[in-house]
A and B are shown apart, each in its own frame.
Chain A
Amino acid sequence: MKLKTIALAAAFSVATCLGTFAASHGNKAKIGMITTLSGGGAGLGIDVRDGFLLAVKKFGEGHVEVVVEDDQRKPDIAVQLADKMIQSEKADILTGIIWSNLAMAVVPATTAQGKFYLSPNAGPSALAGKGCHQNYFNVAWQNDNLHEAAGAYANDAGFKKSFILAPNYPAGKDALTGYKRFFEGEVADEVYTQLGQKDYAAEIAQIRASSADSVFFFLPGGMGIAFMKQYAGSGVDIPLIGPAFSFDQGILQAVGEAAMGVKNTSQWNKDIDNAANNDFVASFQAEYGRLPSLYASQGYDTANLIISALKKAAVSDADAFRAALKAAEFDSVRGDFKFGSNHHPVQDIYVREVIKEGDVYTNKIIATGLTNHSDAYAGDCKM
């Protein structure tokens, strides 16, 4: 299974070098994907890329050509790649960026040059409110959304006092703000950790000493793995709530038993029952030999949105193409999908619980956190 993944990854790298997923008829577009394929955050970029290329392979025949490049999670490299994609590759649409700080470096410059940018992940508040742009679409979520749903769920679950925890950087502050925007109880304590911190003994001691009845944490990637393992080993049994970023399919196996039963919020899960999602989960597993993560679902939706718009309008006719994107007439794996006035999704956000299926840790939906949820910044967007 692992060998197959490696072989596929290798095949895609070769394809990347050749730069061709060629097309022959209909409206065509060249898509530049800049995403993180090496370094600590590579798992996320690989999932977005694999989801995207799966949709291209299944539905994009003759419509799109994709060029994939690795930004190494560095803003300066992402900016260079964006220039290269636009100027020498002549890409019509850019996509792929995982991290909000990279998105802030690339998106405004891209849209200012009249190109389209579709975000499969990062949704910084600055691009949802005053900085919104008619050519910028976010297909995933606005950064605050999943945290807001976690706050709403904490109310539903009857929690009165939360200990809240996030890294000290813009997305971490957005996370705690988002949680507090919806949580009606009291905040026992608010702790900012260092970005990339791996030892949480000091924070767990504070949680133990607090009188909280719930812990909300936003610690993406390796930080979340470290926190959950240490939390489970500490003997503290205050229930945890978090956004899906610490519970995606890629990292759950590394956390293992320590994640069992934790509630987390997500706009997607593999058990959402619709034809598009069932088809996506089955074909992703067949293609890559692993279960898809929410990042893969976001990449898949992004590609399908582009393909649906290309079937209606040519990307050279920017107004018609933009209207086709805005209409979002594609079969989203999330079920109903529509854009709000600021080109960010208006969608349901679910509460999931970590379970074990056979030997594999995964999630199942147990409730809906927020229904038809937009974001707090849409009002500031003048488009």
Chain B
Amino acid sequence: MTTTLIIEQVLNGLQFGVMLFLMASGLTLVFGVMGLINLAHGSLYMVGAFACAAVAAATGSYWLGLAASLVVAAMAGAIVELLIIRKLYSRGHLDQVLATFALILVFSEGTRWLFGSFPLYLNVPEILSGSVELPGGIHYSLFRLLIIVTGALIALFLLALIHKTRLGIQIRAGESDREMISALGVNIDRLYTIVFALGAALAGLAGAMVGSLQSVQVGMGEPVLILAFVVIVIGGIGSIKGALVGAVLVGLVDTLGRFLLPELFAIFMDPASAKAIGSALASMLIYMVMAGVLFFRPTGLFGLNA
């Protein structure tokens, strides 16, 4: 095991973490501001990936596809908010879970109806494929590096938005006292639609970027959704900073765990069972971290003290 391998794995963990952050930030805002559990957030991720693949295939430009993923996911988010989600704010969490679960089915079958059951083609553009050499002789994929940079920029943008702008003040106020902010004359309906569309756009962008690395197919959003929920629970619901820290933590723990645990078990076990047990344990590791965090801080790392 060499230092370059470990550094490369840390970069992989970071890249995975910032992708999770794009998903989790929307989820945590929607939950924090509107008190809504949105299981259909993973569908918006899928919508972004399909929009990118379809537009990139039709126009030949990956960048137009990426822009389309933002626009289409934001539009899908806004439409869903206006037509369905809006009716759910006053309902209990069980109704919200049922309705947004139904939305997953509608989005999945709708996408299959439009695009068919076979995965779509979407690949990293020529200019970003291949790897770059970093200082210290580390070869790293250029596209993954770009994902880390994009994710970091979006994190900065969101933190500035929440803490420095008028919209951010309204969002934070909405989190702490919904009735008071509407009594103060803020158009709360419009604010909700904007927050929901913003979260949807970020999920769509994540879907498009991850889809170019992985595969664009129906049902791609749900596994990521579960991880995003883990992230916001660890970070504290409603906190963008918490989502960022939680996402990077989950990304690093998952990536390094997958790689280091089998090596660790191999010290005192025969290699074949060390591999099997190590990788089985690695897949549980983030949930153990989540349980540990909740034990010491029941509201998450940056959660409000309830």
Binding site for B on A (CB under 8 A): 2, 5-6, 37-40, 42-43, 46, 168, 173, 190-194, 196, 198-199, 201-203, 205-206, 208-209, 222, 225-226, 229-230, 232-235, 250-251, 253-258
CA distance A275 to B215 in the complex (A): 36
Residue B83, interface by CB 8 Å? no
Q: Which residues of B contact A38 (CB under 8 A)?
A: 109, 112
Known A-B contacts A192-B275, A235-B131; the reply to A43 vs B117 at CB < 8 A is yes
Chain A residues within 8 Å of B216, by CB: 254
A-B contact pairs, 10 of them (CB 8 A): A168-B280, A190-B271, A192-B279, A193-B279, A198-B223, A199-B214, A201-B255, A229-B124, A232-B129, A234-B139
A205 touches B119 (CB 8 A): no
Residue pair A205, B120 in contact (C-beta under 8 Å): no
Number of A-B contacts (CB under 8 A): 135
B182 part of interface (Cβ distance < 8 Å): no
Inter-chain pairs besides A209-B5, A230-B214, 7 sampled, C-beta below 8 Å: A191-B262, A194-B283, A198-B214, A225-B119, A251-B118, A254-B121, A256-B123
Using Cβ atoms and an 8 Å threshold, which residues of chain A touch B108? 39
Asked if B213 contacts A229 (CB within 8 A), the reply is yes
A196–B112 Cα distance when bound, in Å, is 19
Tell me if B220 is interfacial: C-beta within 8 Å of chain A.
yes
Write the B1-38 contact mask toward A (1 if CB under 8 angstroms, else 0): 11011001100100110000000000000000000000
A253 to B210, CA, bound (A): 18
A251 touches B119 (CB 8 A): yes
CB distance from B188 to the nearest CB of A (A): 38
- Residue in A closest to B6 when the chains form the complex, CB atoms: A205
Interface assignment of B110: CB less than 8 Å from any CB of chain A: no
Bound CA–CA A206/B271 (angstroms): 16
Q: How far is the CA of A222 from the CA of B223 in the complex (A)?
A: 13
B298 at the interface (CB under 8 A from A): no
B215 touches A202 (CB 8 A): no
B213 pairs with A194, CB closer than 8 A: no
With CB as the reference atom, state the residue of chain B lying closest to A222. B215
A residues near B9, Cβ cutoff 8 Å: 201-202, 205
Could you say which residues of chain B place their CB within 8 Å of the CB of A196? 223
B105 (CB) vs chain A CBs: closest residue? A38
B78 in the interface (beta carbon within 8 A): no
* A201 cross-chain contacts in B, Cβ below 8 A: 9, 12, 15-16, 141, 144, 255
Contact residues in A for B92 (Cβ distance below 8 Å): none
Contact with A along B70-113 (1 / 0, CB 8 A): 00000000000000000000000000000000000000110011
Known: A38-B112, A190-B275. A205 touches B215 (CB 8 A): no
B275 and A191 form a contact (CB under 8 A): yes
A253–B218 touching, CB < 8 Å: no
Q: Which of A208, A209, A233 has the most CB of B within 10 A?
A: A233
Tell me if B130 and A39 are in contact (CB < 8 A): no
B168 contacts A by Cβ under 8 Å: no
- Measured between beta carbons, the chain B residues less than 8 angstroms from A235 are 130-131, 139, 141
Q: How far is the CA of A234 from the CA of B8 in the complex (A)?
A: 12
Q: Can you name the residue of chain B whose Cβ is closest to the Cβ of A42?
A: B117
A253 B118 Cβ-Cβ under 8 A:
yes
Minimum distance in angstroms from A215 CB to a CB of chain B: 16
